[in-house]
Amino acid sequence: SKIPAAITAAKAADAVVIVIGDNDGTCGEWQDNDNLDPPGQQMNFIQQVVNELKGSGIPIVLVTINGRQYTFAGGNPSNSVLDDVDILLNAFRPGQQGGIALRDVIMGDAENSGRLAQNWPKIVGDVNSGSNPWLQEVRGKWVANSRSKPDPDGRIYDSYQNEQKFYGEITEPLFEFGYGMSNTGCTSQFKYSNLKVKVVNNAPVQNDTDVVMRVTVDV
Q: How confident is the model at residue 133 (pLDDT cuts 50, 70, 90)?
A: low
pLDDT of 82 higher than 60 = yes
Higher per-residue pLDDT: 158 or 118: 118
In the chain, the percentage of residues whose pLDDT exceeds 90 is 29
3-state DSSP of the chain = CCHHHHHHHHHCCCCEEEEEECCCCCCCCCCCCCCCCCCCCHHHHHHHHHHHHCCCCCCEEEEEECCCCCCCCCCCCCCHHHHHCCEEEECCCCCCCHHHHHHHHHHCCCCCCCCCCCCECCCHHHCCCCCCCCCCCCECCCCCCCCCCCCCCCCECCCHHHHHHHHCCCCCCCECCCCCECCCCCECCCCCEEEEEEECCCCCCCCHHHCCEEEEEEC
| Between residues 62 and 152, the one the model is more confident about | 62
Q: Is the pTM for the entire model greater than 0.95?
A: no
Residue 184 has pLDDT above 60, yes or no: no
Q: Which residue has the higher pLDDT, 196 or 157?
A: 196
State mean pLDDT over 83-101: 91
